[in-house]
Amino acid sequence: MVRKLIGVIVAVAVVTAVALWGLTTPATVPASALGAHTVDLHNGRTMFLAGGCSSCHAVPKQNDRTRLGGGLALNSPFGTFYVPNISSDRQDGIGSWTEAQFVTAMTQGTSPDGDHLYPAFPYPSYRNMTVGDLRDLFAYLKTLPAVQGKVRGHNLRFPFNVRRLVGVWKLLYLRDAPWHPDPKESAQWNRGAYLVNGPGHCAECHSPRDALGGIVAGKRFTGGPSPSGQGGVPNITQFKLKNWSVDDIASMLEDGNTPDADRVGGEMVEVVRDTSQLSKADRMAIAVYIKSLPPVAGVPQAVK
């Protein structure tokens, strides 16, 4: 009887392990799924700026924000992530990637080698982007300087250094469907919603996380820990910004000045460096959407 029970337990464990292995297989986007596309480099630059790509991927401590050699350290409860080289260098950057590999990384969180990418790279938001915008972004990145130099690997604690377990994280937190416009809202609101929830990935920093690193349900945009590990990122719902007008938000995205005669600080300085180069229409669209976020109290300890 005991031997039978042990046999059943072993069989169940094997079946469960096989099923979990299958469910956590890194997903890919085949080249055949992309179809024809005419590249728009101007739009690619807009996606680059909206996404703040240089804020994380530019080589630290130098002024040229187009040198995307990576190297920035991002501290987290799981260990330290080091931002990779995404320059056009074919050896150390993404210069040898195909469009399909880039779209796969941005929407599925899978590397060209077929490994899971850690969600410190905000593909849960980037997967909301249209494939056309992703292809334009990729084309624009390829126009920027090639930067030599491999970035060191992440320094993560066990079991977080086991990449296959990211597949379990994806099962728990990765949305199945991309973002879609809300037909009940204006074109301006929908443009802002797209920029904020897609390329802008604002919720990735402006939201608290649970023990596994997923955004806390119901607390989106209510503030979170700083990616640098120092201080916090503020609540941007109307709980915090109720006294800000749409024009106040749009103006802050252009010059970094707040309506209370202060200036933004921390990582937001880099964000404004990019949003200031967006069109006035896009800044206003972002402001309209952010102003529409209902008031929600955040997690006090997440914001300082």
Average pLDDT over residues 37-41: 96
Average pLDDT over residues 139-168: 94
Q: Locate the domains of the chain by residue range.
A: 28-178, 180-304
Query: pLDDT at position 151, please?
Result: 93
Nearest to 50 by CA among 291, 277, 235: 277
Radius of gyration of the chain (CA): 21
Query: pLDDT at position 20, please?
Result: 53
Count Cα atoms within 13 angstroms, Cβ side, for 282.
Answer: 18
Per-residue pLDDT of 122-147, as tens digits, reads 999 999 999 999 999 999 999 999 99
| Helix ranges, the chain (H) | 2-23, 41-50, 53-57, 99-108, 123-126, 131-141, 166-173, 187-197, 202-205, 238-241, 246-255, 268-275, 280-291
Per-residue pLDDT of 267-302, as tens digits, reads 889 999 999 999 999 999 999 999 999 999 877 644
Q: Which CATH architecture group holds 180-304?
A: Orthogonal Bundle (1.10)
Per-residue pLDDT of 19-30, as tens digits, reads 555 567 888 999
Nearest to 163 by CA among 106, 102, 118: 118
Higher-pLDDT residue of 44, 2 = 44
C-alpha span between 24 and 33 (Å, rounded): 22
